[in-house]
Structure 1
Amino acid sequence: MKNIATLTMNPTIDVSYDVGKVRHTHKMRTDNEHYAPGGGGINVARVFVRLGGNARSYYLSGGATGPALDGLVDLHQLVRTRIEIKGPTRIAADILEHDTSKEYRFTPAGPHVSEAEWTHALEVLAEADCDIMVMSGSLPPGVPTDFYARVTRLLRPKGIEIVLDTSGAALAAGIEQGELLLVKPSHGELAQYSGRSLDSHDAIGKAAMAIVEAGKARLVAVTMGHEGALLAHAEGTTFLPALKIEAASAVGAGDSFVAAMVHALCRGDDDLTAFRIGVAAGSAAVLRAGTDLARPADIERMLGMAEPA
């Protein structure tokens, strides 16, 4: 089994509450209060470790909220490398309204990171010792959009494979740098990268295959929400329809997908099997409200339902 490391440049303290009804102005009493360490890479590490793998979490942490994030990471028994910054770690809120079963999510942009701080982060990452680096989540203000591309240039000469899950300009720069094992855009993120509307599975498949054929990534997994997911690789494209489940939350589905797919690849599963496991994990993550992410038993249950269309 290969070991991974994850990078979270814009982590969160994820807090979730339940409330009877959301009303403006009024004080709303909540219950089921829960705190968890969050942000793309940290979420990936949480699920990867649950599945029996080894993962080191690299992340930025600072301000008065930084120690709280560090403590939550420790509670989840994650091996960590904290990269200190001055700005406070952001806090994201997930609110479940019982009356409607609707979910409300509030996510700040994150702290400003100085050039000295992100340059130091590159120096720390240059010493990473792992088989695969999973770079996941947004970049905070102040960090250049080609940051993930810079990390790729540092680590690929060491033989470390790269997985990328981000959006916008950071995604574009990362893909253009190339040499990726796996990139996981959403349908909308792939359309933005491609610069055109992708209004059919065929169009999505062609856009994903263009990345593979250009040698930018060996695997491109496109998540499509309630429609399903598509994998592009050297042998072509495979579409998996969304599983017929009742979603209670949208938190962590993509991160769970990445964690489970990478875990399967690390243990030697073939690309299509790993893709099916990723789809199962993404579905497992939304079964329960809040920020708990996918659980192995739920992934196994969902796996029996994840078959190609």
Structure 2
Amino acid sequence: MKESPKSDARMSIVTLTMNPALDITTNADVVRHTDKIRCDGARYDAGGGGINVARFARVLDASVTAVYPAGGPTGALVTDLVGESDVPVARVIIGNPTRESFTVNERSTGKQYRFVLPGPQLTPAEQAQCLDTLRRAAASAQFVVASGSLPPGVPADFYQRVADICGELGVPLILDTSGGGLNHVKAGVFLLKPSVRELRECVGSPLETESEQLAAAHGLIDRGVTQAVVVSLGSEGALVATSRDSMRIPAIPVHAVSGVGAGDAMVAAMTVGLSNAWPLSKAVRFGIAAATAKLLTPGTSACTRADVDRFFELVSEPIDDSALLP
């Protein structure tokens, strides 16, 4: 029987979310232009990559603190919702209101429509306060997880500054981001978790084959950007690259209710596994189990521990893909 993580009072994870959101999810029969779309009642969740990671890690019994900037009524509601998840917060109050994200599930087709706003403008002083708050929170952490997009006004090299802080503190950084926030990271990451699309954008190549994707991941390791790369492949599972190994871990086929937050669930469970001193391959298998469990839940609501443990029993052992490399 495969082991699942147990609660450990020493476990400490700090997450950073620079662009949190109030996630609103609803259903409608048909989504079409011009017409009014009559929706069901809405579901409200605290969202943004790092906040999702924190909420999901808490479901898995981790000790976790969420660092994020928030402002206005939406920011206050996000903070209330995070608190309801039993996650301690280190909130940086900002002048502009936290963004909203809106998801509509179309019942007639099963399609999902996601509307994502850019987020509030952060001043240089607010950005500096976020870094200071992170430094204090991360001083006693086992892992820092920085996840999600950067809001307007935040320079593209912001996550490199986060990596520098983690390096000074001796705390491993797990990074899950895209666009400029990813492209401007040059060193200091412990584990990078891009999707295939994000990896393609990062290296500027279509990466059509698995061998090309692994080669790109190893290129980031060889350049010193990160020590390991886990490429999420959606329904195909994940690729894992380290300086020594290349492997693929298959996904578990399920009928998805919503794909929102599955990547965050994967990062949360991987981090929990690593915090328990698991090998990376085992932590990634636990991450795939959590992502699968998240597919069964609406919006960005948290999956259950029971579902994660159940799917963990079903995740296949890694497939050695070292032969695919040149």
TM-score category (smaller protein)? over 0.9
Matches within 5 A, 1:81-96: 81-96=90-105
Distance (Å, rounded) in 2 between the aligned partners of 1:264 and 1:25: 48
Query: Are 1:276 and 2:316 an aligned pair?
Result: no
- Superposed CA offset, 1:47-67 (max 9, x none): 101000011000010123221
Matches within 5 A, 1:140-151: 140-151=151-162
Question: What is the letter of the counterpart of residue 155 of structure 2?
Answer: P
- Superposed CA offset, 1:128-152 (max 9, x none): 2322110000000000111111122
Distance (Å, rounded) in 2 between the aligned partners of 1:23 and 1:201: 37
Distance (Å, rounded) in 1 between the aligned partners of 2:279 and 2:303: 21
Distance (Å, rounded) in 1 between the aligned partners of 2:33 and 2:170: 53
Question: What is the letter of the counterpart of residue 163 of structure 1?
Answer: I
Which shifted more, 135-144 or 159-168? Answer: 159-168
Displacement of 1:234 after TM fit?
Answer: 3.0
Query: Are 1:165 and 2:176 an aligned pair?
Result: yes
Query: Are 1:111 and 2:120 an aligned pair?
Result: yes
Looking at secondary structure, tell me which structure has more strand per residue: 1
Aligned-residue CA RMSD in angstroms? Answer: 1.6
Query: Are 1:131 and 2:138 an aligned pair?
Result: no
Displacement of 1:301 after TM fit?
Answer: 2.2
Distance (Å, rounded) in 1 between the aligned partners of 2:245 and 2:219: 11
Distance (Å, rounded) in 2 between the aligned partners of 1:158 and 1:290: 35
Distance (Å, rounded) in 1 between the aligned partners of 2:262 and 2:118: 20
Query: Are 1:45 and 2:54 an aligned pair?
Result: yes
Which consecutive segments of 4 or more residues in structure 1 shift more than 6 A? none
Distance (Å, rounded) in 1 between the aligned partners of 2:97 and 2:14: 23
Aligned to 1:59, the other structure's residue is in SS state: strand
Residue from 263, 283, 294 that aligns with 1:254: 263
Distance (Å, rounded) in 2 between the aligned partners of 1:219 and 1:296: 27
Distance (Å, rounded) in 2 between the aligned partners of 1:252 and 1:43: 7
- Superposed CA offset, 1:195-216 (max 9, x none): 2221111111111122223333
TM-score, with length taken from structure 1:
0.94
Question: What is the letter of the counterpart of residue 87 of structure 2?
Answer: L
**Contact 1:209/1:236 (8 A) holds in 2:** no
Displacement of 1:35 after TM fit?
Answer: 0.8
Alignment gaps of 5+ in structure 1:
none
Which shifted more, 265-274 or 236-245? Answer: 236-245
- Superposed CA offset, 1:263-292 (max 9, x none): 001011111101111111112211233221
The match for 1:20 is 29
**Contact 1:45/1:259 (8 A) holds in 2:** yes
Distance (Å, rounded) in 2 between the aligned partners of 1:198 and 1:80: 39
The match for 2:323 is none
**Contact 1:131/1:159 (8 A) holds in 2:** no
Query: Are 1:5 and 2:5 an aligned pair?
Result: no
Distance (Å, rounded) in 2 between the aligned partners of 1:283 and 1:267: 21
**Contact 1:96/1:289 (8 A) holds in 2:** no
The match for 1:153 is 164
Distance (Å, rounded) in 1 between the aligned partners of 2:207 and 2:36: 44
**Contact 2:235/2:253 (8 A) holds in 1:** no
**Contact 1:40/1:255 (8 A) holds in 2:** yes
Distance (Å, rounded) in 1 between the aligned partners of 2:302 and 2:192: 20
Which shifted more, 114-123 or 163-172? Answer: 114-123
The match for 1:70 is 79
Question: What is the letter of the counterpart of residue 217 of structure 1?
Answer: T
Alignment gaps of 5+ in structure 2:
1-7, 320-326
Question: What is the letter of the counterpart of residue 17 of structure 1?
Answer: T
